[in-house]
Amino acid sequence: MSEQVLTLAESLKDRARAALGQRNLVFVGLMGAGKSSIGRPVAQQLGLPFVDTDIEIERVSRMTIAELFAAYGEQEFRALETRVIKRLLKGGPRVVSTGGGAFINESTRLHVKRGSLSVWLKADLDVLWERVNKRDTRPLLKTENPKQTLENLMNARYPIYAEADITVLSRDVNKDIMVREVLAAIAEGKKAESKIP
């Protein structure tokens, strides 16, 4: 890599970190949008710890997400999710990847909006379906027509995800490109969909 490219990368990282300040960075979006796979390297670039709320929920409950849904139902799961996210956000700044339904919950959304910068990774149906249809570990997709269920979730949730501070288009490109686009959107404080070459 040339010295100029390295300097630009460092500059982008520094500008994004400065724009974030002491706030948490919270990734929201549907399953398969890339919240963890993009969140982890973004955290690394920003020099912040990374937490995936689903992994944290499984750790504290000693059950998988699917087991929690089966044993207690979605309502109880969402209550646990809200408590875990509220606790995680108190310990910032950090980068947090949330489950697809977390930001939909009004209480959780209020906690995120209080002291965090939220980034919606927005993806179209085909991109999401390509990413999620390979595994059957998604409780909400255990339906007769999982692709239709995914589309229904998009229709219901996208207007709420749109309340996030920043929107970045998630698509099938090199992960480094997505990370750079997220950092640029943070640095520039973009509300609109970010897509840089």
Binding-site sequence positions for Mg(2+):
36
For β-strands 95-97 and 24-28, DSSP reports them as: parallel
Q: For 116, how many CA atoms within 13 A lie in the half-sphere containing its CB?
A: 30
Binding-site residues for substrate sit at 54, 78, 100, 157
User: How many other CB atoms are there within 10 angstroms of residue 67's CB atom?
Assistant: 13
Binding-site residues sit at 32-37, 54, 78, 100, 138, 157
Q: For 144, how many CA atoms within 13 A lie in the half-sphere containing its CB?
A: 0
Tell which phi-psi region holds residue 95, choosing left (phi > 0), alpha (psi between -120 and 50) or beta: beta
Helix (H) or strand (E) holding 38: helix 35-46
Residue type, 107: S
* Inter-axis angle of helices 146-161 and 125-132, nearest 10: 120
Binding-site residues for ATP sit at 32-37, 138
